Structure formats: structure tokens, C-alpha cells
Structure 1
Amino acid sequence: MWLLTDVLKAYSMYRSDVGYVPGTSTIAAILLLNLPDPSSSFQALSNILNRPLPLSFHTNDTGAISHLNLDPDVYLRDTFVSLFTSSISLDNASRLWDVAVFEGDGVLVRAAVALFGSLESKLNDASNDEEILEVLKGGVSAEGLGEEDWIMAVRGAGKS
């Protein structure tokens, strides 16, 4: 537990303009489980979160989406801030991170499209805004898609 808070505090001090953002704890925890020491986890966390797409969700720039009638912050923020650990199983999120390291941030956008695609039938069944938000915030259950099926959905996202 102390290692996790140490890594999160270090990142908050390193990026005082961003500070602590809820959702980064899961990312740091997975890194601590998979890397040899806390300093490696901090470096990896910094490298992941300082990329353009993740950083855009960690800064508070509401003006960028104020012209929209929808508020994507409500349904996308947790997903991107936690790098999908709040929306899909940890195994699938870890696999997505592996792909993102090699293919870049664009795969995260495709993952969001794949996530919405996997929730399509539930979204169509929703009868009001509250139910839609409940479906979106619930994400995909751990038994929903295996790693290979998830990655295939991500790779096919946005293609006709």
C-alpha cells in the first residue's frame, strides 16, 4: 500500500499542474505488480500519462468540448483517466496497454470505439439518459470478452 501511495505522490509532485487524478491508482498498481521496483513504476506511469492523449484527459480543459450538446466527460473521463481499467477487465486493460506501447495513443481511441461497440445492444435497450449513463459507466464485464476477442474488436474498431 505504501509503495502505491509513494508512486502516486511522486507523480502528483512531478506534475503539479495535473496533481492526483482519480483512476491513476489502478494504473500505478498494475505497474507496481509488473515492474521490479517503485522507481521503474513511477517512470512508466510518467511515460504513460505524459503522452498527448492520456494527458488531455488529466488536465481540466472544459472549453475544448463546451460547444457540444453532449457531455463526454460524464461517460469518457473515467475510462480514459484510468486507461480503461474502470471499464474492462484488468487482463484486457493490460493487453491493451501492451498494444498501446507499440502502436501509440491511437489504439486508445479505437479501444473506446470497440468498447461502445461491445455495449451497443445494451445501449439500444436503454430507455432514458440515466440508463444509458449506467450502461456506459458499467463498462464490459470481466466475462464479457476474452483478451483475443477484445484485441480483435479494438483492431477492427472504426472499420466497415
Structure 2
Amino acid sequence: EEDEIDWEFWSKVISDFNSVAKSEPKVLSYNIQRGIPPTLRGMIWQLFAKSKNVKLEEQYMQLLKEESVYEKAIARDLPKASFMNHEYFAVQDGQEALFNVVKAYSLYDTEVGYSQGLLHITGPLLLNMPEEEAFCVIVQLMNKYDLRGHFLPQSDLLSQRLYQLEGLVADHLPHIQRHFQAHGVRSNMYAYQWFSTLFAYKFPLDTVFRIYDMIFAEGIETLHRFSVALLERNQSTILSLEFDDLVNFLKSDLLEIYMVSIKCCEWQGLRADENANQLVKDAFQIHIVSKRLDRLAKDYQVESARANNEAEAIEALKRQNKALADSIKKMDMEYSELNKEHTEVATELITAKMDIARIHDENEALR
């Protein structure tokens, strides 16, 4: 594998990234498909992200001295990350680095604060660069790559991207989309973790690194390509399953088909690494037009606005119903009070009439 790496090309990328990106975009894309050399990966990611920022690194060091309200939550979630069994995170230094970066970001961006997804996104970065550089990359992912909207409490960007995924599945894999609709399976049931953690939640690190390669090179919409590719590769299995088994399969077992391919190739004496690249190759076969994504985004906004209007109308009706119910209750109470008063008056009237009759009888007797 080392022999196949085009070290001359990657040396050019390191020395003059902007020039290579402009003059040889297809060659760059081809080499990214083959995988960025592990020893250069962190550096290349930073070049794509344009994240190198000395002032931001200095700010990071200052943020480490401050306290965050999220420290207990971060410490509680650390052991839950799937990559914590990696040798880097098995020791105190690795765990502290992960804690530090996520804590610092919660102080840097108080609107976002902390989300467990940030923990999963940060881990693969730390396996390829020092913590202060990983912090700068996180800042760029949030802003330059428009990932911040996935974590802002008032943002619906993540929901929009999941809606776009459903539209793309309908375009590329209509049989799967009809199967999903028939069984009530929505994209947020299986792809939420993919998008909120950049596939780092459960996927093997080698696969996650390759996905990161493409995200840094081509943008966050790469998530859609990998999602559609995974579904396409597993189409026959997906179409054979019903709701419970289907959702469990989508959440946990989509990569199994690639693992089986690798084992088969090893048994046949073929190169296993070539099949390990199959997911990336599959993703590059998925062509997504930006205009289609824009159209789906607009459709989402229209549907979201309609749903919000309907929700507001329902809430207004609920308020009206409550007001009417309160009014009826008040009228019932007033009626009960009036009825009570009427009964008392009627009783007094009868008593008075009886008294008058008695007095009349007494007067007659006296005569």
C-alpha cells in the first residue's frame, strides 16, 4: 500500500495546496478516493479546512483555564464514545485531550454549548493532530462547513438535511423509499446519528477517516452520498425486512456487507484493502446535483412552514376550546348559584304564603 501512494503528488499538496487544488482538481479528487496517507491526513484536513490560526490556538489555551457548566456532562459521556477502546484514548492524556477540546468549544460557542455529537466528531480529529489544532478544525467544521446548525437549539438544519436524504433516496433508490414509506420508516430513525456525528458514532475508525477525507475535500453534503451508497449496497436486505428488524438493521448492520466482502477476498487471496475502499468507491458513484439539494431545501422550508402554521392553528383552536370550556364552566357555576338563589327565594315564598294562610286561619278563628 505504501508503494501505491503518490508521495510526489502529496508533497506538492503540502507545499502548495491552493495551487494544486485549482490546477489539478481531478487528480486531487482521485487521490482522495484512494485515501489520504495516514501520516499526512491531519495536515491535509487542516489545509482543506483552512483552519490554521495561531490566535485561535492561543484562545484555546486560555479557555482551558476556565470552567464550563458542561464539564460533568462531558465527563459522564466520555466512556460512551465508541472509539474509547483505541490505545490513544485508553490512557489519561488522550481522554484529557478529548475532554479539553469539547469543553473549550462549549465556552467558545455558548449558543451551541455541548452536545454528545461533538464528542464523537472530535475523537477522530485527535487521532490525527494535536488538541489545539483539533479545536481550530472543529471551529471551521461548525462555520465553514455549516455543521453548527446541527447543534443550535433553535435550528432545523439537521432536520432539513434528513429531509433532503429522503428526497435523494426517492430519486436514486425508489424501491427502498417506497418500502420505507410502506413501513413508516423515516430518515431520522436511522440517519440522525450518521449526520450528527459524521458517521463516527458506530463506524470503524478507518472508515470514519475515509469519510472525513471526503467531507473536508468536498463539503458536508458528502454525508448524503455515503448515506445513499450504504442503502444502495444493502438494497436486497432492506427490502426483505419489516419495521423493527429494518430499523435495527439500518442503525447497526449496514457495514456488515463490506466486512463480508473483505473476508471473502482474504480467503481468495485477493487484496483486502481494495475491498475496504469499496464504500468510498460506492459513494463516488452517487452523483448529487446541487440544484436538487437546493430544491429539496426549499421544499422542506415550505412543508415546515405549513406544518408550523397547522400547529399554530391547532394551538389556537386548543386555546379557543379552553376559553370556551372555561366560559361554560363559569356559566355553569353562575347558573348553579342562580338556581340555588331561586330555590331559596321559592322556599321563602312558599314559607311566606304558608305563614299568611296560617295567620288568615288564626284571624278567622278569632272572629
Provide the TM-score with structure 2 as the length reference: 0.38
* RMSD across aligned positions (CA): 2.7
**Is 1:135 aligned to residue 228 of structure 2?**
no
Change (3 A) 1:88 1:121: farther
Contact 1:113–1:158, Cα closer than 8 Å, also in 2: no
CA distance in 1, matches of 2:132, 2:287: 37
Q: CA deviation at 1:135?
A: 1.1
Unpaired runs of at least 5, structure 2: 1-94, 167-183, 262-274, 289-367
Q: CA deviation at 1:7?
A: 0.6
**Is 1:57 aligned to residue 160 of structure 2?**
no
Contact 1:111–1:154, Cα closer than 8 Å, also in 2: yes
* Structure 1 segment 24-103 matched on structure 2, within 5 A: 24-35=118-129, 37-50=130-143, 51-52=145-146, 54-60=147-153, 61=155, 71-103=186-218
Matching residue of 1:119: 234
> Which is higher, the Rg of structure 1 or of structure 2?
2
Unpaired runs of at least 5, structure 1: none
Q: CA deviation at 1:84?
A: 0.9
CA distance in 2, matches of 1:21, 1:122: 33
CA distance in 1, matches of 2:227, 2:197: 12
Q: CA deviation at 1:86?
A: 2.6
Matching residue of 1:151: 280
Q: CA deviation at 1:106?
A: 2.5
Residues 90-130 of structure 1: CA deviation (Å, up to 9, x unaligned): 11110121122122223221111112222322211212x22
CA distance in 2, matches of 1:87, 1:119: 17
Q: CA deviation at 1:39?
A: 0.8
Q: Which amino acid aligns with 2:238?
A: L
Matching residue of 2:92: none
Q: Which amino acid aligns with 2:281?
A: M
Q: Which of 94, 102, 105 matches 1:8?
A: 102
CA distance in 2, matches of 1:131, 1:11: 38
Change (3 A) 1:157 1:15: same
Q: CA deviation at 1:49?
A: 3.2
Contact 2:150–2:156, Cα closer than 8 Å, also in 1: no
Q: CA deviation at 1:40?
A: 0.4
Structure 1 runs of 4+ off > 3 angstroms? 59-65, 67-71, 144-147
Q: Considering Cα pairs closer than 8 Å and 6+ residues apart, tell me whether 1 or 2 has the greater RCO.
A: 1
Provide the TM-score with structure 1 as the length reference: 0.80
Q: CA deviation at 1:144?
A: 5.2
